[in-house]
Amino acid sequence: MFSGSIVALVTPFRDGEVDYDALGDLIEFQIAAGTAGILPCGTTGESATLSHEEHDRVVEFVVKAVRGRVPVIAGSGSNATREALRLTAHAREAGADAALVITPYYNKPTQRGLIAHFELLAREVEIPIVIYNVPGRTGVSIAPETVAALAANPRIVAIKEASGSLEQVSQIISRCGITVLSGDDSLTFPMMALGARGVVSVAANILPGRVAAMTAAFLGGDIAAARAIHYEIYDICRILFVETNPIPVKAALAMMGRIREEYRLPLCPMGDENRARLRKALEGAGLV
């Protein structure tokens, strides 16, 4: 369940509402291209601007649309443990295969607070939990020692590591057997060289086949092929973060004709200069 290319799926909007027709089409696009897992309601899915009702319905829709063909890992984190508990319990009730739980943002808990947060969720909800470490978004980083302590819990099975630090990855893998997944597309290949098992990918929204092929090649022992794909898609991976995620990837999907380009404030459309750079990169990759 926790290896290969897992897409951090965007949430398409139309006239201010979730566009479920487009969402269903995106799911089919991913599965047909060989994506190993679908992750709705993460950062890329603009979970921060979804209402609780929308969040629940998106998870339910994705589980039903996927129909067990690949695992569904539902985003269910929050800065409040009580809210994260409700979202994680709903993910289980909806039939998700696992829950992605971000380190609580804004309130900057201590490492003891992080342990208490994740252990409560693991104790209360019978579902595999993937820790999500992205200090650039949350203001707090989970220490390798804390990850190792949490990894002793059989329900805490993986970590999406998006600190941008290969030292952090090395420290985690040297301390425990938890599955590590890249949370940075441009670092997936080097992280897998350190022992990561795959990626929760933004780039897979537009390049599902190539990201799947890269991770499959590495896991299959063809390191040279994986390295070649890494460099093939590297520039695209970088351009997708020229502005705040998911602004560029949603703009790219719109250029590809797969969704309407629509965001919820405070996210807004790309600036003209970056939009031109993005289009040029997509044209160079043969995507538009």
The catalytic residue positions are 132, 160
Quote the CA–CA distance of 142 and 134 in Å, as a whole number: 9
Burial of residue 145, with CB atoms counted within 10 A of its CB: 0-12 exposed, 13-18 middle, 19 or more buried: middle
Q: Which two tokens stand for residue 132?
A: 């999500």
Among candidate residues 248, 238, 245, the one with its CA nearest the CA of residue 274? 248
Among candidate residues 124, 78, 70, the one with its CA nearest the CA of residue 100? 78
Give 102's Cβ-side CA count (13 Å radius): 29
* Cis bond upstream, residue 40 (ω within 30): no
Length of the chain: 288
Q: Which two tokens stand for residue 40?
A: 């709705």
Q: Are 180 and 197 in contact (CB under 8 A)?
A: yes
Q: Are 272 and 279 in contact (CB under 8 A)?
A: no
Q: Are 141 and 109 in contact (CB under 8 A)?
A: no
Residues 6+ apart with CB under 8 A from 216: 4, 5, 34
Q: Calculate the alpha carbon distances from 287 to 41, 257, 279 in Å.
A: 25, 10, 9
Q: Are 212 and 30 in contact (CB under 8 A)?
A: no
